[in-house]
Structure 1
Amino acid sequence: MQIAIVDDNAVNLALLRGLVRQLGEVQSVEFLDPREGLAWVCAHPVDLLILDYQMPELDGLGFLRAFRAAPERGEVPVLMVTADHELPLRYQALQEGASDFLTKPVDRVEFQARARNLLALRRSQIEMASRAQWLATEVAKATATILAREQETIVRLARAAEYRDPETGAHVLRMAHYARLIAAQLAVPEAEQDLLLHAAPMHDIGKVGTPDQILLKPGRLTPEELVIMRQHAQIGHDILAGSASPYLQAAALIALHHHERWDGGGYPNGLRGEDISLMGRIVAVADVFDALTSVRPYKPAWSLERAADFLREHAGSHFDPRCVEAFLQAWPGVLEIHARYRDEPLETQPQELL
């Protein structure tokens, strides 16, 4: 362990050095100049500071005060050397953070007992800090495992929706990354961007509750069928709501809001403007853009430019204008996502964009 000794008297410094060497398994560094000593102990690890009070220019109290104010020096034991008649000084030193005292002239037995006690205290502090760091690491690992399981649950729920409403897996990947791109452009905090990325793929999970004859119908839906189809937004919310997981909470809100319209003409609740959650408004843009630019049984894929024009035309009516602007401003990122996540052929595709 490292011990620093600061005393402006060379004889006292030599005495203390000799006593320290008798402790065994320690190293010491000594300073006659208190300012030099202060600079060193504030810049280097030290396990025990032995400090004289009566020093020129910078006395022991001033040294102690500056030492305690330095980063990560608040718990290092300090053994202050004082005269036996300086009780008021000792009281003040305790208030400033002194751990123990030595009385001049220094007694060898007393010195070794006090120094060993303070070194034992320091070892305990180091062990506790190491234990706390280990616990923090283990908690971080456990938290990461829980988050990974939550994300796996999300992926599997999204897959379940795909089996009922067999859009390609690439669709949910593209629209989720488009959504994160919009959020980043809007300066949404990065943690919320990640939340959106993982929650967005479950936006249509409610379609597991839509009858096959409606969900897989190759032609246009009747008004009555359309009413049933549109129930998937509320069903998706009801499936996901009530979870303690922030991912599932976000997914529930997205499922409920991604078919609402900026002008109030959407469903299931006819919300308008900023009454629609930001995540829902973002996903609406991302989902519609990807649906337009994807092949469906009832239509070929639109060009990216045509789909972008559609977003511009319906900004302020269907879509939040800020979300559309953010999406278009990030156009190079849109092109990169579109190229990276390509569709694979499927025998069936969902029947229409609602």
Structure 2
Amino acid sequence: MAIAIVDDTPLNLTLIQALVRKLTPPGTEIVTFSSPLEGLQWCGSHEPDLVIVDYMMPDLNGIEFIETVRKLYPADTVPILMVTAAHEKEVRYESLAAGANDFLTKPIDRHEFDPRVRTMLSLRASHQRMRTWNDDLQAAVILKTAEIVTREQETITRLARAAEFRDPETGAHILRMAHYSQIIARDLGLDAETCERILTAAPMHDIGKVGTPDNILLKPGRLTPEEMVIMRQHPRIGHDILKGSSSPMIQMAAEIALTHHEKYDGSGYPDGLAGDAIPLVGRIVAVADVFDALTSPRPYKPAWELDTAFNFIREGRGSHFDPACVDSFLGLIPEVLEIRERFKDE
């Protein structure tokens, strides 16, 4: 505990300090100030558990003192007792209006002083318990929220792994393209939470391929026009699998699944969206996914050289890809190469 007593009369300070000492446990810090300005300075750097302040003082009267303290601490946090003469009724009313919790009259009567101070200290203790309870509750909410996010991440990871079992693309592909997506998002100025969400949601981009027949999905050669129509259904299938979730992460994954094959000039699929009509996360993942697909071997093609793949991304600026996403990606080539090295194919 820390209790501040402010009174310009030394005798009053000594008396009140002695009375308080008898009511408080050992170790209680009782500080006294004959100057209200010094008392205010102390209150500004130490949150008191109780303030006892006289009304008539030089430089700053008790009402002004209370008004200033209340700017630091609301009335329901730090209790304040005002000491006034018995005849100063108007001062008492003003002190209560200024934020005092109670008042004492001079000369101080111990039988009045003791219960009033006990009440103020009890009020402070109740507030501290409530503050602790609120802190504990907030910590519990943070913990439970983290658990929910972890479960969501696990769900997404397991769904992505399910798609891997049917898709010739490797698990390293979804790790690389997810990290490419995250650094593009960060470079575009998206907040940290959104960037982290993109990292987790991007691996779900091709979950719809679980609905693509094996003879098309695993075909080693070029698809026929009829087969291509079926293959191009996977964005909508993926969206249908993921849509309707209350989770922001899975909502983003559904949006990515539906839109990552759209092209900036409107020639993509499944809806032929163009420009800003394509959600930003879809435009980001489009760059990351295409680059990694080009630089990875597939049953129907060898891996492209890095320079060739970077040139393809550069040439698709404004047609296939969002110019801002391309500019960010090409400005991050050292990080792209580091990610590629970190998540090599087995």
Q: Specify the SS of the correspondent of 2:165.
A: helix
Quote the offset at 1:306 in angstroms.
Answer: 1.1
Contact kept in structure 2, 1:206 and 1:233, CA below 8 Å? yes
User: Corresponding residue for 2:317?
Assistant: 315
User: Corresponding residue for 1:343?
Assistant: 345
Quote the offset at 1:45 in angstroms.
Answer: 2.9
In the alignment, does 2:218 pair up with 1:216? Answer: yes
Correspondence 1:6-85 to 2 at 5 A: 6-25=6-25, 26-70=28-72, 75-85=77-87
Q: Specify the SS of the correspondent of 2:304.
A: coil
Contact kept in structure 2, 1:42 and 1:73, CA below 8 Å? no
State the Cα deviation string for residues 97-133 of structure 1 (Å, max 9, x = none). Answer: 1000000000001000000011011111001100110
User: Corresponding residue for 1:347?
Assistant: none
Q: TM-score, normalised by structure 1?
A: 0.95
Q: Which has the higher contact order (CA 8 A, sep 6+)?
A: 1
Quote the offset at 1:73 in angstroms.
Answer: 7.8
Aligned residue among 147, 166, 169 for 2:168: 166
- Matched residue type, 1:8: D
Quote the offset at 1:314 in angstroms.
Answer: 1.2
User: Corresponding residue for 2:296?
Assistant: 294
Q: TM-score, normalised by structure 2?
A: 0.97
- Matched residue type, 1:14: T
Quote the offset at 1:325 in angstroms.
Answer: 0.7
Unaligned 5+ segments in structure 1 are 345-354
In the alignment, does 2:236 pair up with 1:234? Answer: yes
Quote the offset at 1:71 in angstroms.
Answer: 5.6
Q: Specify the SS of the correspondent of 1:22.
A: helix
Contact kept in structure 2, 1:68 and 1:74, CA below 8 Å? no
The range that moved more, 79-88 or 49-58, is: 79-88
- Matched residue type, 1:9: T
User: Corresponding residue for 1:333?
Assistant: 335
- Matched residue type, 1:123: A
User: Corresponding residue for 2:150?
Assistant: 148
User: Corresponding residue for 1:92?
Assistant: 94
Contact kept in structure 1, 2:75 and 2:99, CA below 8 Å? no
Quote the offset at 1:74 in angstroms.
Answer: 6.2
Calculate the aligned-residue CA RMSD, in Å.
1.2
Instruction: Give the distance between the partners of 2:275 and 2:247, measured in 1 at CA.
Output: 27
Contact kept in structure 1, 2:208 and 2:257, CA below 8 Å? yes
Correspondence 1:176-191 to 2 at 5 A: 176-191=178-193
Unaligned 5+ segments in structure 2 are none
Instruction: Give the distance between the partners of 2:305 and 2:189, measured in 1 at CA.
Output: 28
Contact kept in structure 2, 1:164 and 1:208, CA below 8 Å? yes
Q: Specify the SS of the correspondent of 1:208.
A: helix
- Matched residue type, 2:241: I
Identity of aligned residues (%): 60
Instruction: Give the distance between the partners of 2:256 and 2:289, measured in 1 at CA.
Output: 11
- Matched residue type, 1:16: I
Contact kept in structure 1, 2:75 and 2:100, CA below 8 Å? no
Quote the offset at 1:66 in angstroms.
Answer: 1.2
Instruction: Give the distance between the partners of 1:192 and 1:107, measured in 2 at CA.
Output: 63
- Matched residue type, 1:22: K
Quote the offset at 1:27 in angstroms.
Answer: 3.2
The range that moved more, 40-49 or 286-295, is: 40-49
- Matched residue type, 1:244: S
Quote the offset at 1:297 in angstroms.
Answer: 2.1
State the Cα deviation string for residues 233-258 of structure 1 (Å, max 9, x = none). Answer: 10000000000011110011101100
Quote the offset at 1:14 in angstroms.
Answer: 1.2
